[in-house]
Copies of this chain bind each other. A is one copy, B any other.
Amino acid sequence: MRSLIAELTVIAGSAHVLSEPDVVAGYATDWTRRYAGEASCVVRPGSTEEVAAVLRACAGHGVPVVPQGGNTGLVGGSVPPPAGWRPAAGPAAPAAAAAPVIVSARRLAGLGPVDLAAGQVTAGAGATISGVAAHAAAAGMRYGVDLASRDSATVGGTIATNAGGIRTIRYGPTRAQVAGVTAVLADGSVVSDLSGLTAGSTGYDLAQLLTGSEGTLAVITAARLRLHPAEQAGAVLLAPAGGMAQAVGLYGQIRVGVPDLLAAEYIDGAGLDLVCRITGLRPPLAGQARAYLLVEIAGPAQAAAGSVDLNRLAAAGLPDDSAVETSERGMAALWAYRERLTESIAAAGVPHKIDVAVPVGRLADFRAGLDETIRDAGAGPAEIIVFGHIGVGNLHVNVLGPDPADDRVDIAVARLAAAHGGRVAAEHGVGRSKTGWLSWSMPAAQISAMASIKAALDPAGLLNPGVLLPG
């Protein structure tokens, strides 16, 4: 290991090879503190060429590599496995020669000029999402992905996980923003296309293959990202609903009948009540409801007409006792009930947080069966709060009460999602926490094809071992 660290020091400079145990431990622990692993050292390369040299050196020593962006993941995908971890049955994964090297993208944070004609920008993998957003906004453009971890989450990390967020119904997930990447393969070779050209086909789209691959196929060092015209906000509305079924129905009508939908969030009534109780916010509507639909509308139609067309909203079935706000302050006030959910739940206890996706048409059935499923898991009394991105079927199931270490709850919820044609993981990714669950929502042939691709591009199994694919 010493000789590898010496090589890495030559490559990146001594200031950027960190091997103090305390410092390394900071990088090797994720921010949920549920996942902490063992790393030989942390290296922070300053260029794609340095990343390539680092990967060649690690490959030469048979030492695994864990790529790391902002380390804001929730499923253990951005930290190494714990000491003593060994692949279960990897086809070509012998025991590693030493604990992994964490390759941090923090120094790869450059931003190129905004290209207005192409509507694109080139960003380093270590640039933060808020940094990209501000850079785009200064040129009158908008980056399509926005999420709570925006100040820490990076371009590389969000591509590796295909991060979603609140604007996915308008702009798609990170995948839809990626017009190309530069990345280093396990053997240190570099693939790159930052031309921004996305029409047609000149072979397999490696940028799209790497999007969502969670660091198991390559280390992304830069990306060409799509930008969208910036649009002034139009309106935010909060509608009461009798439950998930009614919320889905209302969402569908608004989607078809009202242009410029920017965001649509579902909130369990119990969640909104909890926010009010914990934060002291006043209930937003006169009465209480079993569920709420929060919708933001913003775009060219509102700008052209000068205001949101309330007749269209009424025609779409918006209940009379809904709140509709068009001022910046009023819109932010309605968003607060959604944005303060996570802190309110955390204040009430240590929750199970299960991130699943269910087809929109099955959301009502899924929600209807959820309470009984969790009760039947046998982990004890539970308070259940569901919220999430209704238009893409991505729900966050929060369960308070059962021992946080008792994964029967998580398993029951993931299996219920799979039983409704859904997926055991969504915007949080698979990471280390859900690798064994993939087969619940995916044909065996698909997992096998994924393993073949992994073995083809990383035959020694050195990139992010234990993440995504079942050992």
Contact = CB atoms under 8 A, between A and B. Distances in A.
B199 A117 contact: no
Nearest to A448: B189
B438 A203 contact: yes
Interface stretch (A11-19, A98-106, A449-457): A449-457
B361 A198 contact: no
Given A117-B255, A140-B256, A259-B300, A357 B203 contact: no
A424 interface: yes
Interface of A: 115-119, 140, 161-164, 168, 172-173, 175-176, 185, 189-193, 195-206, 208-209, 211-214, 217, 229, 248, 251-252, 255-256, 259-260, 299-305, 309, 355, 357-361, 389, 392-394, 421-430, 438, 441-443, 445-450, 452-453, 455-457, 468-469
A229 B256 contact: yes
B260 A389 contact: no
B202 A213 contact: no
Nearest to A430: B202
A200 B449 contact: no
Contacts of A456: 452-453, 455-456
A468 B203 contact: yes
A287 to B, nearest CB: 26
B197 A392 contact: yes
Given A205-B208, A361-B117, A198 B445 contact: no
A209 B340 CA distance: 38
Contact of A259 (B116, B303, B446): B303
A212 B206 contact: no
A219 B456 CA distance: 21
A182 to B, nearest CB: 10
Q: Lowest 3 CB-CB distances: which A-B pairs, in order?
A: A300-B301, A259-B300, A201-B212
Nearest to A212: B201
A164 B200 contact: yes
A448 to B, nearest CB: 7
Given A201-B425, A202-B441, A204-B212, A191 B446 contact: yes
Given A304-B309, A359-B195, A446-B206, A201 B214 contact: yes
A303 B302 CA distance: 11
Given A119-B255, A301-B304, A162 B200 contact: yes
A453 B457 contact: yes
A206 B164 contact: no
Given A116-B252, A456-B452, A443 B190 contact: yes
Given A118-B393, A203-B442, A453-B453, 20 more contacts: A116-B252, A162-B200, A164-B199, A172-B176, A175-B208, A189-B445, A192-B446, A193-B446, A197-B394, A199-B357, A199-B392, A199-B426, A201-B426, A201-B429, A202-B442, A204-B212, A205-B208, A208-B208, A453-B456, A453-B457
B360 A304 contact: no
A426 B255 CA distance: 33
24 contacts: A116-B255, A117-B251, A118-B359, A118-B360, A118-B393, A172-B198, A173-B199, A175-B208, A185-B449, A189-B448, A190-B443, A191-B443, A191-B446, A192-B446, A195-B421, A197-B394, A199-B394, A200-B212, A202-B430, A203-B468, A259-B299, A304-B304, A304-B305, A456-B456
A211 to B, nearest CB: 7
A359 B196 CA distance: 7
A172 B248 CA distance: 27
Contacts of A214: 201
Contacts of A229: 256, 259
A134 to B, nearest CB: 18
A211 B200 contact: no
B424 A202 contact: yes
Given A173-B200, A255-B117, A256-B229, A192 B301 contact: no
A422 B360 CA distance: 40
